[in-house]
Amino acid sequence: MEQKLISLPKLNNLQPTLESTTLKILEEAGELAQAIGKFRGLNGEPTKLAPDEVLSLITKELLDVAQTAVTMMYVLEEQYGVNLENALKEHIEKLKSKKYLI
């Protein structure tokens, strides 16, 4: 199975909650969608950015989504006792059962 591994830091100057992190994920996902809309010209405005600038913006917004998701993982582990190793194994099995992975 091919994997893309990234290592994102635990943010140490925040007091995240499940609710605040969920709202932040939605905010960042909206910004990602907005960047993709600009790339595809879906917002009805002429694109003022060069394609490489838009792709850079998309990448930055995607990493913001990923960072916030990692923050939520810490919240789940530390505040709710969720075992993410087991959850990840179950997630991989789900992907296999849906034939997303062989």
Q: What is the per-residue pLDDT across 77-86, written as a single tens digit (0 to 9) for each?
A: 999 999 999 9
**pLDDT(25) > 90:** yes
Q: What is the pTM of this model?
A: 0.87
Domains of the chain: 18-97 (1.10.287)
Under 8 Å between Cβ of 65 and 29: yes
C-alpha to C-alpha distances, 45 to 39, 48, 102, nearest whole angstrom: 11, 9, 42
Residue in 70, 38, 41 with CA at minimum distance from that of residue 55: 38
C-alpha to C-alpha distances, 51 to 13, 36, 65, 96, nearest whole angstrom: 34, 11, 21, 35
Q: Name every residue whose Cβ is closer than 8 Å to that of residue 55 and which is 6 or more positions away in sequence.
A: 39
Mean per-residue pLDDT over the chain, rounded: 93
